Amino acid sequence: MNSTGRFAIVWIVLLLNSCAPILAGVPTVVDEKLERYVTDIGLEIVAVSEHRDQWASYQFKLADFSRRDILGLSIGKQRIFISFELSRLAYKDSNYRWLLRHTLADEIAHDVLGIDPATPEDPRDHRDGLANRITGKDLGLSSRVVFRPYSRSAELAADRRGMEYWQKLGWSCGHWVRLFVNFTAQGYQGDIDHPTKERLDQAIQICSRQSS
């Protein structure tokens, strides 16, 4: 696949960046250089969060998710998994770096806000489009592990909190908005828990207030 095609795929995947299993068991990748890189950015965000006094407890691991369009995962107690592929691309390309910063801000926000998973999965939700909910199998979890995604309201709350962290760090909210604009341009609706339009509308409203 050429670089343009790979870039488009990675931009499409952002909507699926936040979920919470009941237990850990995600396949990981050992790469000390990339793990330090992700940890440095993560702790930069933690330093402006409500968990600033707990920074030493944060663990950032590189994940080999079975479903390649999942970028991040917060399981509570300052434990966060980030896609190895996203980390690798962000290390080399500043455009992906904004995607990584977004993912980390969202997952740290989930950790701060607490795990508030959605109701148990309904088999009828396993369809295309907005009902294409992420499953434990998509994360590489054992079938014995109970998994539930964050609710839509929890995702929107994490977006709001993540944008607050970005503002404190002086990172332009315009980058955050453009991530979702890119999805819309590609016709990507997201899933039942990560609706592109709602997240974009909220980001535009918040960015407008921050910029005024």
User: What pairs with residue 63 in β-bridges?
Assistant: 28, 83
What does the pLDDT read at residue 115? 62
Give 112-133 pLDDT, tens digit per residue.
998 665 444 444 444 455 667 6
Q: What's the pTM?
A: 0.80
- The residue type found at 62 is L
Per-residue exposure over 73-96, b if at least 16 CB sit within 10 Å of its own CB, e if not: bbbeebbbbbbbbbbbbbeeeeeb
What percent of the chain has a predicted confidence (pLDDT) above 70? 71
- 32-36 mean pLDDT: 96
Flag the least confident range among 30-44, 79-93, 145-159: 145-159
Pairing of strands 59-63, 79-83: parallel
Rounded Cα distance, 175 and 28, in Å: 28
Q: Please state the rounded mean pLDDT for residues 131-147.
A: 60
Q: What is the pLDDT of residues 71-128, one digit of tens each?
A: 888 888 999 999 999 999 999 998 899 999 999 999 999 999 986 654 444 444 444 5
Q: Is the pLDDT of residue 2 over 70?
A: no
Q: Are 22 and 75 in contact (CB under 8 A)?
A: no
What pLDDT was estimated at residue 116?
A: 60
Residue 62 near residue 84, CB atoms below 8 Å: yes
* Residue 94, C-beta contacts closer than 8 angstroms, at least 6 positions apart: none
Q: How far is CA 130 from CA 15, 44, 82, 124, 152, in A?
A: 11, 33, 23, 12, 11
Mean pLDDT of the chain: 80
DSSP per residue over 136-203, as a string? Answer: TGGGT--TTS-EEPBPHHHHHHHHHHHHHHHHHHT--HHHHHHHHHHHHHTT--EETTEEHHHHHHHH
What is the DSSP code (8-state) at residue 90? H
Find all residues with CB under 8 Å of 10, minimum gap 6, and list them. 85, 86, 89, 96, 99
Percentage of residues in the chain with pLDDT exceeding 90? 50
Q: Which helix (H) or strand (E) holds 98?
A: helix 94-113
- Asked if residue 161 lies in contact with residue 112, where contact means CB atoms within 8 angstroms, the answer is yes
